[in-house]
Amino acid sequence: MRGLRSTTLLGVVLVALAAYIFLVENKKPADGPTKSKAWAVDAATIIDVTIRSAAGETTRIQKGANDGRWSIVEPVRATVDDAVVGSIVNGLASLDIERVETVEIEAAMAGYWAEHQHIGIDTDARSAQWFRLDESPGRWTVTQTIVDDDPAPILSVEHLTMRFGGLVAIDRLSFQAARGHITALIGPNGAGKTTVFNCITGFYKPSAGMMRLEHPDGQSYLLERLLDFRIAKKARVARTFQNIRLFSGMTVLENLIVAQHNVLMRASGMTVGGLLGISGYGGAEREAVDKARYWLDKTNLLARADDAAGALAYGEQRRLEIARAMCTDPVLLCLDEPAAGLNARESGELNTLLRFIRKEHGTSILLIEHDMSVVMEISDHIVVLDYGVKIADGTPEQIRNDPKVIAAYLGVEDDEVAEAQT
């Protein structure tokens, strides 16, 4: 019964939003100066609409990837009228900057917008626009615009080579990972994927090549020149492992507190302040606990905060590793087979978590994964390795149909590959 009431309320909200958009569109003056578009987007490319209340409550409407139909996915799952949602996305896509900033809210909508103060829309081209109702009644502002049609790289790997004696594990590998994207590194067992991760994160010093990390503020780091702990601390690169490496004897919460030791050590004056009870350390400690609890909540582990990490189920340990990595505030998150051993439901939850990390925190993700359903669903770009050599580089659709990739995974003979390419 409660779910029915929620669905009904959400339906009313959608109708009200459509009516508001209609009223806004019809208030446009007949004459006047040319106005700039709030953002250049085709309404047909919009795949996600988020309405966030001032209290933090969120309503999300998503377009189905297969059937193109719209449905509510949060806070409850329900079908919606495609025509109503169509009017919403058409109106949002056509808003210009001047009208977004000055439009008056209709009296009938004032109560609704007093509680629901944010609208966000995403497109399949990885562009997004957020609008916010500010404290001045009836005034909207553009709070964030993301256009990732051609994003700058956050990681550039050039001619990376790793030798172990006479064995060449990685042979002159070059690729880029775009800022704000999920980049997957895939290939058969023994292709060299984890070796690449170990080079990026400082576990190995490469035999040759360059790895450049570009922060959003313009700072640049050559990872091959940094010690491993500086890659994590200064360059802000975090990783998880193929084989889970938690502090199993510590509690779940303690595992996340330990991940923030750099901040806590500075606040404690290298432990002296902590021993003496200096107030600055107490504040830093509370912030560390708050951050840890935030990520436990996002990974559905808050109820297990005081349990030993080693007592968690396998899938929970996987999520805890990701939460621990995120507590370091990375700009690049490297995940080594995070879906390994997960069932279909857990893989779906992982996909949702990684999308949240990318979207809400702006963290770029580099992913090694054998589960192709995960890779193809969430990746923006895929790099394929075989025996340490890059054999393909492109979008999921391009990789899915690449004959060299098919040959590497299925064992097709080289002459068959050549025939398929002609």
| Domain assignment present for 38 | yes
Taking alpha carbons only, the member of 247, 317, 318, 330 closest to residue 291 is: 330
Task: Choose the final residue of a domain: 85, 115, 147.
Answer: 147
Are 303 and 195 contained in the same domain? yes
Are 129 and 207 contained in the same domain? no
| Domain assignment present for 422 | no
For residue 64, count other CB atoms closer than 10 A to its CB: 10
Q: Are 292 and 257 in contact (CB under 8 A)?
A: yes
Task: Choose the final residue of a domain: 147, 181, 208.
Answer: 147
Residue 380: CATH number of its domain: 3.40.50.300
pLDDT for residue 322:
96
The residue behind tokens 């923030």 is: 260
Are 169 and 139 contained in the same domain? no
How many residues does this entry show for the chain?
422
Number of domains in the chain: 2
Are 283 and 404 contained in the same domain? yes
Are 222 and 99 contained in the same domain? no
Are 278 and 407 contained in the same domain? yes
| Domain assignment present for 421 | no
For residue 368, count other CB atoms closer than 10 A to its CB: 24
Structure-block tokens of residue 381: 């770009």
Structural domain harbouring 292: 153-415
Q: Between the CA of residue 208 and those of 50, 166, 173, 175, what are the distances in Å?
A: 46, 15, 10, 15
Are 166 and 93 contained in the same domain? no
Are 159 and 132 contained in the same domain? no
Q: Which long-range contacts (CB under 8 A, 24 or more apart) does 306-311 make?
A: 306/251, 306/252, 306/253, 307/251, 307/252, 308/248, 308/249, 308/250, 308/251, 308/252, 309/246, 309/247, 309/248, 309/249, 309/250, 309/251, 309/252, 309/254, 309/255, 310/246, 310/248, 310/249
| Domain assignment present for 383 | yes
| Domain assignment present for 420 | no
Are 60 and 173 contained in the same domain? no
Are 345 and 370 contained in the same domain? yes
Tens-of-pLDDT digits for all 422 residues of the chain? 555 555 565 665 566 556 555 554 454 444 444 444 445 556 677 777 777 665 556 677 877 766 677 887 777 777 777 777 776 667 666 655 444 433 333 333 444 444 444 555 555 444 555 555 454 444 445 544 444 555 789 999 999 999 999 999 999 999 999 998 999 999 998 899 999 999 999 999 999 999 999 998 889 999 999 998 899 999 999 999 988 889 999 999 999 999 998 888 877 776 666 566 665 677 788 889 999 999 999 999 999 999 999 999 999 999 999 999 999 999 999 999 999 989 988 988 899 999 999 988 889 999 999 888 889 989 999 999 999 999 999 999 899 888 889 888 766 555 554 554 54
pTM of the model: 0.65
| Domain assignment present for 208 | yes
| Domain assignment present for 104 | yes
Are 183 and 298 contained in the same domain? yes
Are 95 and 199 contained in the same domain? no
Task: Choose the final residue of a domain: 147, 180, 206.
Answer: 147
Q: How many whole angstroms separate alpha carbon 209 and alpha carbon 348?
A: 36
pLDDT digit string, tens, across residues 334-359 = 999 999 989 988 988 899 999 999 98
pLDDT for residue 257:
94
Q: Are 222 and 318 in contact (CB under 8 A)?
A: no
